[in-house]
Amino acid sequence: MNKDFAILTQASCDLPPERLKAQDILVVPMPMSIENLTYHHNPSGKGISFSEFYKMLRENKVVRTSAPSPQDFIAAAEPALKKGLDILYLGISSTLSGTFQSGVLAMNMLKEAYPEREIICVDTKSGAMGEALLVEMAAKARKEGKTLQETAELIERNKLKTAHYFTLDDMEALSRSGRLPAYRAVIGNLLDIKPVIKLSGDSTFAVVAKVRGYKKALSKLCEMVLSKAEELKDQIVYISHADVKQAAEQLAEKFRIAGAREVVITLLGPAIAGHFGIGGIGVSFLAGKR
């Protein structure tokens, strides 16, 4: 294993703590506020647990997210630099959050403090489990002996092949977050309209379909994976869900039957779930292009 560099990301990648630990990934917690109280989300559950968060979300409490400070990034990365390791920072898309800019600022500060070390920053143009896919791709490349530069180039080549598709069960959360007009949320819920959304090539959200009913929306997600995934048998399909484990398991079983090499299921973290609400569910995988 090449251990000449560390891999740094944020809790927004939503990987389970056991996978992060097994692959030696450094993680910066994501700050947020709920009803004006400040918390930090960490995959390990420190700060606020998933059960506490989803309890508050079910009580319709408003979630506000913010970017980690440069000091948060420095606290996570500096111990690796002191050990003589270089850093590969893989950040959530800069179009989705100010987090990447905060991370880059911190990495530039660390470059000045440790001029003998190499630090590379990559905007993954992804979030949630799409970001997770790229983080694990980097970890696999490092394990296989690829250098820091080779691994960074691998992520650059694949980041716009990383497809993200989501659906929502209730559009009220999106309305409360300010990302959807209230009247559209009300009409959508009354008509049982479920949008199927993708993260486009410019890393903005685009509605690709509107269907009646949650089950049809899940079927559409399945269709997207089966029609667009490149060599599904060689892939890991990532599923993240906002406290709807049964729906996630049903999707996973379809992908296993279709021949996916592995399916990873995890809870959607507060950074995204706070906007998508209970029932939000997404899939990420490698496609020819987004």
Give the per-residue pLDDT at 179.
Answer: 44
Give the per-residue pLDDT at 32.
Answer: 87
Q: Angle 148-158/128-143 helices, nearest 10 degrees?
A: 150
Looking at the fold, whether 19 and 129 belong to one and the same domain comes out as yes
Looking at the fold, whether 144 and 15 belong to one and the same domain comes out as yes
Looking at the fold, whether 94 and 227 belong to one and the same domain comes out as no
Domain boundary pick from 136, 158, 180: 158
Nearest to 82 by CA among 182, 17, 6, 29: 6
What letters, b where the CB count within 10 A reaches 16 and e where it falls short, cover 82-95?
Answer: eeebbbbbbbbbbe
pLDDT in single tens digits along all 290 residues of the chain: 457 899 999 999 989 899 999 999 999 999 988 888 888 888 776 778 888 889 988 888 888 888 999 999 999 999 999 999 999 999 999 988 899 999 999 999 999 999 999 999 999 999 999 999 999 999 999 999 999 999 999 999 999 999 999 998 876 655 454 444 433 433 344 347 888 989 988 888 888 898 999 999 999 999 999 999 999 999 999 999 999 999 999 999 999 999 999 999 999 988 788 778 899 999 999 998 88
Nearest to 26 by CA among 77, 64, 71: 77
Domain boundary pick from 134, 158, 182: 158
Looking at the fold, whether 169 and 149 belong to one and the same domain comes out as no
Single-letter code of the amino acid located at 192: D
Give the per-residue pLDDT at 172.
Answer: 64
Q: Which two tokens stand for residue 121?
A: 């920053």
β-pairing verdict for 37-41 and 30-34:
antiparallel
Q: How many CB atoms lie within 10 A of CB 50?
A: 17
CATH code for the domain of 130 = 3.40.50.10170
Looking at the fold, whether 68 and 170 belong to one and the same domain comes out as no
Residues 6+ apart with CB under 8 A from 206: 197, 198, 199, 200
Cα distance between residue 127 and residue 214, in whole Å: 23
Looking at the fold, whether 153 and 33 belong to one and the same domain comes out as yes
Looking at the fold, whether 136 and 202 belong to one and the same domain comes out as no
Cα distance between residue 100 and residue 108, in whole Å: 12
Give the per-residue pLDDT at 229.
Answer: 96
Looking at the fold, whether 11 and 141 belong to one and the same domain comes out as yes
Domain that includes residue 118, residue range: 5-158
Give the per-residue pLDDT at 62.
Answer: 80
Looking at the fold, whether 183 and 265 belong to one and the same domain comes out as yes
CA distances from 275 to 29, 61, 169 (A): 18, 11, 12
Q: Which two tokens stand for residue 61?
A: 């409490």
Domain boundary pick from 104, 130, 158: 158
CATH code for the domain of 269 = 3.30.1180.10
How does DSSP classify residue 269? P
Give the per-residue pLDDT at 187.
Answer: 39
Looking at the fold, whether 150 and 199 belong to one and the same domain comes out as no
Give the count of domains, the chain.
2
Nearest to 73 by CA among 125, 137, 12: 12
**Torsional class of 238: left (φ above 0), alpha (ψ -120 to 50), beta (otherwise):** beta
Looking at the fold, whether 204 and 276 belong to one and the same domain comes out as yes
CB-based contact 87:110 (threshold 8 Å): yes
Looking at the fold, whether 154 and 166 belong to one and the same domain comes out as no
CB-based contact 274:64 (threshold 8 Å): yes
